[in-house]
Structure formats: structure tokens, C-alpha cells
Amino acid sequence: MAIRRASHAVYDTRYHIVWAPKYCKWISRGDLRDFVEQCLRDIAINHDFEIEEMEIAEDHVHIFLAFAPKYSISDVVKSLKGASARSIFMKCPEVKRELWGGEFWEDGYFARTK
């Protein structure tokens, strides 16, 4: 990512973010993995986040992400996890029925600045 400008800031922020799905079983489905990847890319485009790299493993998601300093890391993660879970449940309602509590992602996440 190049140095970017906003109305009152010049920035180059990058984060490594990792989180896992509940019970680590659904993301191993190939069709669902591809759908999750596309959902995360769409969310990033809609929020003006820049995904530098992304890997969706069987039991977790890694994203190297850049975004404006007007967003907090917790708000960015909430946007990515919340919107992707809603999309997954709309596309694959059987997933929500088999999850206790109806949550797709684990509660926490790992974040590191780069």
C-alpha cells in the first residue's frame, strides 16, 4: 500500500488480523471457503479497506489489511466478521441451524500492526 491521504491525515497503516470460525468445521467446505473469501473482499471494497493478502485456512482466517485511521481495529473486525456471517447464513441456512447459539465466528481475534 502506498501512502494515502485523507482530508486531515496522511497515513500508511497495515494490520495482520486472524480469527477462527466456531467449532472449526464449516470453513473446511470448499464452496463455503470460496464464498467467505468473496464476502470478505466485497466488505473490504464497500468500506474502502485494502486487502494486501488473505488466506482462508481450514480453522482460521489470515488477512493483511490496510485501512484509514478513522476506523478502530475493533470496528473493522466487527464489520468483517458480522457482515460475512450474515451473508453465510443467508446463502447456507443449514450452517446456522447446526451451530449452537447461531454464531459463525469465534468471539476474539488477533491483531498486529505491520
Question: What is the CATH number for 59?
Answer: 3.30.70.1290
User: Count of domains in the chain?
Assistant: 1
In a domain, 2, yes or no: no
Question: What is the span of the domain harbouring residue 22?
Answer: 10-113
In a domain, 15, yes or no: yes
In a domain, 73, yes or no: yes
Nearest to 37 by CA among 88, 112, 101: 88
- pLDDT tens-digit series, residues 23-34: 766 666 677 888
55: phi then psi, degrees, rounded to nearest 5:
-135, 130
In a domain, 4, yes or no: no
Is a pLDDT exceeding 90 seen at residue 98? no
Share of the chain above pLDDT 90, in %: 49
The secondary structure of residue 4, as a DSSP letter, is: E
In a domain, 78, yes or no: yes
- pLDDT tens-digit series, residues 52-65: 999 988 888 999 99
In a domain, 76, yes or no: yes
In a domain, 46, yes or no: yes
Q: Tell me the three cell numbers of residue 95.
A: 450452517
pLDDT at 5: 85
pLDDT at 26: 64
In a domain, 90, yes or no: yes
